[in-house]
Amino acid sequence: MRDLLQYVNECTNELDLIGINYTLPKRWESSKRLTWKYGYCKISLFRNKPTIEKIVISERLLDERIPEHILKDTIIHELIHTCDGCYDHGSKFQSIARQINNAYGYLIETRVNDADHKIVSSIYKPKERKYKISCPTCGKTWGYKIKSKAYKYPEKFICTKCKSKLVRVS
């Protein structure tokens, strides 16, 4: 298992070298629960002044089998969110990401790229979800580990893609 803070130090040193003005969070955490996204930055507002509470990175990325660049891309992605005006994935975020990508050859984007996702998914195969609902119109399917409200009452929910009512599959 990799040391998260060691990689944080490497990433912050790289950002310092090219003059990126980021804010360190109050704390760094890793989480076993983060499976669909690789990290997030928790920012709170107090009197319209943002405070960077914490940055959480998926524990999966600390696994030695995962290439280092995926971990570093994620750490830097979350650090960009701490820059003034980069709390979303708008033009300022994208501009800073391009600057870092050009300087170091990273592939920092607004979301995980498909190649990296395939690498992580091949190591951490998703668990089968036996409770499924789907859209009869477009065919989009959702799976759940437990009998969720959407599974119990699919007729009360609509498809996020085409807005049709959902049906239970299994």
Span 99-117, pLDDT tens digits: 999 999 999 999 888 889 8
32: helix, strand or coil: coil
Looking at residue 59, the DSSP 8-state letter turns out to be G
Residues 22 and 101 placed together within one structural domain of the fold:
yes
Residues 113 and 147 placed together within one structural domain of the fold:
no
Domain span including residue 66: 4-123
Residues 31 and 114 placed together within one structural domain of the fold:
yes
CA-closest candidate to residue 91, choices 119, 110, 106: 110
Residues 8 and 61 placed together within one structural domain of the fold:
yes
Span 13-72, pLDDT tens digits: 999 999 999 999 999 999 999 888 999 999 988 887 889 999 999 999 999 999 999 999
Residues 54 and 82 placed together within one structural domain of the fold:
yes
Span 70-98, pLDDT tens digits: 999 999 999 999 999 998 999 999 999 99
Identify residue 148 by its one-letter amino acid code.
S
How sure is the predictor about 157, in pLDDT bands with cuts at 50, 70 and 90?
A: very high
Looking at residue 169, the DSSP 8-state letter turns out to be -
Residues 12 and 82 placed together within one structural domain of the fold:
yes
Residues 100 and 139 placed together within one structural domain of the fold:
no
The pTM for the full model equals 0.77
Cα gap 106→15, rounded to integer Å: 12
Cα gap 70→27, rounded to integer Å: 21
Identify residue 159 by its one-letter amino acid code.
C
34: helix, strand or coil: coil
Residues 26 and 104 placed together within one structural domain of the fold:
yes
